[in-house]
Amino acid sequence: MHSARMPPADGHGQGSYADRAETYLRLLAESALRPAANGDTSRVRRAAEALTDAGVLSDQAAAEILADVQLALRLRGRR
C-alpha cells in the first residue's frame, strides 16, 4: 500500500489511481450490460462503494457511472 503523500515507486501519482479505478468501474459496468448479466448491477455498486471508500474514486465519478449504466439498461428495456 502506498502513502497518499508519496507517489509509488513506479512514478504513478494519485491521479493515475483515480484513472485506473474509473476505467475498471466503467468496464465492470459495461459487463453488466451484456445479456448474460441479466442487468445485474450489484457487482458494479459494490465495486463503486469499495473504490470510493478506498479514496481512489470520487463519489461524483462513481455516481455518474452508476447512473450511466442504469440509463443504458432502461434504454435496452431492462430494469
Write the CA distances from 24 to 15, 37, 57, 63, integer angstroms. Answer: 14, 17, 11, 14
pLDDT of residue 36: 87
State the pLDDT confidence band at 13, using cuts at 50, 70 and 90.
low
Is the pLDDT reported for residue 72 higher than 60? yes
Query: Mean pLDDT in the chain?
Result: 85
Please state, in angstroms and rounded to a whole number, the distance separating the CA atoms of residues 35 and 39: 7
Per-residue pLDDT averaged across 9-32, rounded? Answer: 83
* Cell numbers given for 61: 465519478
Span 21-36, mean pLDDT? 95
Q: Is 11 a residue whose pLDDT tops 60? A: no
Cell matching residue 54: 478506498
